[in-house]
Amino acid sequence: MINSKDNIEQKKPETGCVAKDEIESYKRLASIGKVSVDIINELYSPIDTINRFINLALHTVGEDSQSRQFLLESKEGIRKTSVLLKRLDSYAKEIEKEISEIIAKNGQSPSSHSN
């Protein structure tokens, strides 16, 4: 996993502050992180709904039916997608937090960026 804090710390000038143009870049990255978290959270709801429908359908099909096998494979795919989304969510939140901390250390507000 990439540790953005290490990469950012290496770029600091000897003054201990990050250059203003770098701060603006970090602010944009923080914004991308926030949007990523929002998108991930929006995907959770339909994935949960699909999982619920699969569970309902599993109760209506025979134990040895081909439909059951398809539903079980679909359920596994949904589970893997959910795990991936959780990992992406954690990573995006971690990066967003690290960047916000760096911006705050340099006397800037993460949300006060110019477009």
Torsion over CA: 10, 14, 18, 20 (sign):
negative
The better pLDDT of the pair 16, 81 is held by 81
d(CA 55, CA 12) in angstroms, rounded, equals 53
Average pLDDT, the chain: 81
C-alpha neighbours within 13 Å on the C-beta side of residue 17: 7
Contact status, residue 71 vs residue 57, Cβ threshold 8 Å: yes
pLDDT of residue 28: 82
Q: Among 5-19, 43-57, 69-83, whose mean pLDDT is lowest?
A: 5-19
Q: Where are the domains of the chain?
A: 20-105
What's the pLDDT band for 67 if we cut at 50, 70, 90?
very high
